[in-house]
Amino acid sequence: MKIGILGSGDVGKTLANGFIKYDFEVMIGTRDNKLDDVKNSGINSGA
């Protein structure tokens, strides 16, 4: 199943990691200019 999460803060990252743990495909939407921080956190992200 594909999951989209809006927001790359602590809650968004926690949710993404939880879904990834159970083999869901996760994409995070963010307006934060520090997208590299999200990419380097091990979470799949899309801008």
pLDDT of residue 47: 41
Give domain status of residue 47, yes or no: no
Q: Report how many domains make up the chain.
A: 1
Nearest to 45 by CA among 22, 32, 21, 23: 32
Give the tokens for residue 35.
């997208």
pLDDT tens-digit readout, 7-42: 888 899 899 999 999 999 999 888 877 666 666 666
Distance CA 27, CA 45 (A): 5
Q: Report which of residues 4 and 32 the model is more confident about.
A: 4
Give domain status of residue 17, yes or no: yes
Give domain status of residue 45, yes or no: no
Domain range for 12:
2-39
Distance CA 34, CA 18 (A): 22
Give domain status of residue 13, yes or no: yes
Q: Is 21 helix (H, G, I), strand (E, B) or coil?
A: helix
pLDDT of residue 38: 62
pTM over 0.75: no
Give domain status of residue 46, yes or no: no
The answer on pLDDT for 44 being more than 90 is no
